[in-house]
Amino acid sequence: MQVRGPLHVHAPQPLTPPHAPAPALAPAAQPAAQAPSAPARQPDELALSDVGQLVARVQEMPEIRAEKVAEIRAQLAAGAYDVDGKLETALNRLLDELE
């Protein structure tokens, strides 16, 4: 849609792909068959940051086991869960998986 002032609103315009640059006019010394070719397109590139790579690794990890989480929550609520020793083990396993 083009808006040109408060009284000049035009109807929606069709969506078209980007246009290629118009070919240059061939000099008089060159025949029309030798017109310059279109520039080569460069491939798209994608670079992930360190955070993006970490997120990709985490997404590849196995799903969370809901029954195990519920069991540990119950142990925490009862005060019967050994946090220090198990936390250290869990963190070491997580770091091993990420390496």
Q: pTM of the predicted model, to two decimals?
A: 0.29
Block means of pLDDT (10 residues each) for the chain, 99 residues, are 61 65 57 62 83 85 87 89 80 86
Nearest to 68 by CA among 54, 81, 55, 85: 81
Bridge partner residues of 3 (DSSP): 9
What contacts 29, CB < 8 A, 6 or more positions away?
none
Do 75 and 81 meet the contact criterion of CB atoms below 8 Å apart? yes
pLDDT at 55: 86
Distance in angstroms (rounded) separating the CA atoms of residues 29 and 11: 46
Q: Determine which helix (DSSP H) or strand (DSSP E) holds 32, and give its type and residue range.
A: none
